[in-house]
Amino acid sequence: MSNVKHKNCALRELAKSAKSRLCDNRYDSEKSVPQGATPEQKAIFLKLCQMQKEGETVVNPVACFADQEKMKTLSHEDRQRYILTVCADYVSMKRFIENKARKTG
């Protein structure tokens, strides 16, 4: 077996990322975004972490995390679908953060 067989596997990408952080002394610069998260979920996760760091709470996740310009262009049915997707992404990322906080203490 050669190392070239799986050039783009997830484990190899994580190892590259960890090695670059170690070499550059950037131990805490990269957030631990859940693996398999969509780009929208990653954006919500990073924004939630920033809000938590600043001591803010989320009252209305749709207003905080939905793209208002995109919502203006969608039909009524598509807007409802988009809102449900944003809410589901918010709940899953919030649950991940809470579980991570419980594990660390």
Confidence tier at 71 by pLDDT (50, 70, 90): very high
Same domain, 17 and 41: no
- CA 89 vs. chain centroid, Å, equals 9
Same domain, 23 and 61: no
pLDDT at residue 14 greater than cutoff 50: yes
pLDDT at residue 29 greater than cutoff 70: no
- In the predicted model, what is the mean pLDDT of residues 54-83? 93
Confidence tier at 69 by pLDDT (50, 70, 90): very high
Same domain, 38 and 24: no
pLDDT at site 1: 47
Q: Which residues contact 51 (CB under 8 A, 6 or more apart)?
A: 57, 58, 64
Same domain, 11 and 59: no
* Residue-range definition of the domain harbouring residue 75: 33-104
Record the pTM: 0.69
Same domain, 21 and 40: no
pLDDT at residue 27 greater than cutoff 70: no
Same domain, 45 and 96: yes
Same domain, 39 and 21: no
pLDDT at site 15: 80
